[in-house]
Structure 1
Amino acid sequence: MKHTMSRKLCIIHANCQGDPLRKLLMLHPQFGQEFEIVKYTNYLCEDIPDVQLQQCSLFLYQPLGEKWDDHASAALLARVNPAAVTAAIPNMLFKGYWPFWTNKSPIEFGDIFLDRLVDMGLEKKEILYICMHTDIAAKHDLAGLFEDSARREREKEQGCVVHTVDLILDLFRSEKLFNTINHPNRRLVLQVTEGVLAHLGFAPLPDVLTGAFQDPYPEFELPLHPQVAAFHQLPFGSASTLYNVFGKPRTYEEYAGLYVDCRALGIRDLSSYLHLV
């Protein structure tokens, strides 16, 4: 991929959160004139050509550790143009709404609570009854899980040029800040974008842009367990709340039933399954 020589090259190495960041930076009057922006998806291990790293003037990255080998941040920074400005940006992940989320599940959007019930060999109706009627707060340290997650996210943001954890902790009750564990709402994406611009010495985004910017991930709202919502005294997330599940309104219980069905079918790609049913 060649970049326009009249503009400097900015590389963003990030997950899906890099897409709305790129869009907003491109629309910024001064930044968009000064930089061409190329985004590489970090978790897909997309290779960044050496020529681009050598031509790069600005490298924005979500920190990745050594386990990512050639795609680890340290490895990429060693290859970046030494004259380039480099800046770490947050990789936002919030388990406060979904304390049982796990990436160690046989299914996408893994849920430890549901997985345990499925793995016990119970029938679907039994799983849903236990899921909805067990006193979750009595059996799980929801406060401790929340504090552990917040501490982990604060550690991850050390060294980043903009922080989000304090804002999240201030507002997570009054405003639904995430649609899934790593799909933040417009406020948080704007927080990161404005922080990057300020760090680099640019003016804020014009009001017309911030006003027009919509939530970047509207297609899927991961439902909240109503007992978790009640524990955190959220004004959203009741048992009757309808969530946008790829264009279909679903309650948490309906979603949980589809999760169980997907597990029973041995399908890992829950997103594709939810699109179909």
Structure 2
Amino acid sequence: MTSRSDDRRKLFVLIGTCISFGLQYLLLRNPDFRRAYRFKAYRTDRHQQFMADLCIPDEELAEAEVVAFHPPGWADWGNEEAYRSLLRSIPKHVQRISYPYPVFPALWPFHCYDTRNECATNEPTPELIPPQYPYGDAWVLSKIRKGIPAGKILEEYMNLDIPSVTDVDGLLRKSIEIQKDKERDTKIKVLDYVMDNFRKEKTFITMNHVGNYTIFHMANQIFDMLGIKKLDEKILRQLGELISFEIPIHPSVIRHFDLQHVNRDTRYAIDLFKRQTFEEYMEDYIHFR
């Protein structure tokens, strides 16, 4: 076995949020990449605060051949100045690959934070984990606050035509404008790909989590920049979603955007165990305590 001191491969450092889990997987699935590079990841997300202090040892940055990262403004680190300082400390000889952390709210126009997560029961569940709904729904919450019965809320929601009560097209245009401006700061581009493909492919699985097709598009751009052969698209047929988990899309939004990859009866991977339709998911969500 080759020791690290004898490892002649170059060092690739990946800095990022939850999206970096999917990128890491696809980068390391490429044998040409593994032959050429050692890999180290630094990231912060709500589950793993690996980089809470936004600090990477200077000697590791000096050793790196490539550093891939989100430019400031693409992710809310909670300590922007420390992150800018970290990026300034990357030596000039290092190849920099900047990549986005895009969002796509138009498919989930009522997304909000649900404070019920803060006081939810910790009673045992069949899934062995407490229920959590990090992606809240403002329309449902407004009905709950009014004291409307759960069954009535679900019935009304399933019959609601969301595009008639909120401007989903305007939300999409705003998202495009924001990301088009931000993408000027990234070497990796995704916006055009998403706009060309979001109707026929799962380019996003939540409002801030890209799907496998988008991650694949990003990874292959990185391989291009490194002079490494791209992955074949057939790998996508072998994978569940790399960034978990999915949030169902309301049937009226599916109709409005003519989405071809989902329908009213599609089952989404809600967590490690459940595969639910939109209606099943919302019934559980309405009853969440």
TM-score interval (norm. to shorter) = 0.7 to 0.9
| CA apart distance, 1:136 | 2.1
Q: Which of 42, 61, 69 pairs up with 1:53? A: 61
Structure number with the bigger relative contact order (C-alpha 8 A, sep ≥ 6) is: 2
Partner Cα separation in structure 2 for residue 94 and residue 144 of structure 1: 12
1:77 aligns with 2:77: no
User: Any idea what the Cα deviations from partners look like across 1:194-224, whole Å, max 9, x if unmatched?
Assistant: 1112223x13325498467524438633111
Partner Cα separation in structure 2 for residue 84 and residue 213 of structure 1: 34
User: Any idea what the Cα deviations from partners look like across 1:226-255, whole Å, max 9, x if unmatched?
Assistant: 111111122354333332323333221221
1:161 aligns with 2:169: no
Mapping 1:114-125, distance limit 5 Å:
114-125=140-151
Q: Which of 227, 233, 238 pairs up with 2:263? A: 238
Partner Cα separation in structure 2 for residue 208 and residue 125 of structure 1: 43
8 Å contact kept, 1:70–1:76:
no
2:214 is aligned to 188
Mapping 1:167-206, distance limit 5 Å:
167-200=193-226, 202-206=227-231
8 Å contact kept, 1:57–1:81:
no
2:172 is aligned to 146
Q: Which of 21, 24, 34 pairs up with 2:36? A: 34
Partner Cα separation in structure 2 for residue 20 and residue 236 of structure 1: 20
How many residue pairs match? The answer is 260
8 Å contact kept, 1:3–1:36:
no
Partner Cα separation in structure 2 for residue 228 and residue 20 of structure 1: 26
| CA apart distance, 1:163 | 0.9
| CA apart distance, 1:12 | 0.7
Identify the range of structure 1 (66-75 vs 50-59) with the bigger mean alpha-carbon deviation: 66-75
SS at 2:15's partner residue? strand
- Residues 81 and 189 (structure 1), Cα distance of their counterparts in 2 relative to 1, 3 Å cut: same
User: Any idea what the Cα deviations from partners look like across 1:177-209, whole Å, max 9, x if unmatched?
Assistant: 222233333321121011112223x13325498
Which letter does structure 1 place at the counterpart of 2:144?
A: V
CA RMSD of aligned residues (A): 2.8
8 Å contact kept, 1:60–1:86:
yes
8 Å contact kept, 1:221–1:243:
yes
1:270 is aligned to none
2:121 is aligned to none
1:105 is aligned to 114
Where structure 2 has 5 or more consecutive residues not aligned to the other structure, the ranges are 118-133
1:227 is aligned to 252
User: Any idea what the Cα deviations from partners look like across 1:22-78, whole Å, max 9, x if unmatched?
Assistant: 233234344322321111123434444323233322110022348632675422112
8 Å contact kept, 2:21–2:242:
no
Which letter does structure 1 place at the counterpart of 2:254?
A: A
Partner Cα separation in structure 1 for residue 20 and residue 260 of structure 2: 30
1:275 is aligned to none
1:217 aligns with 2:242: yes
1:63 is aligned to 71
Partner Cα separation in structure 2 for residue 22 and residue 164 of structure 1: 17
Partner Cα separation in structure 1 for residue 266 and residue 32 of structure 2: 42
1:92 aligns with 2:99: no
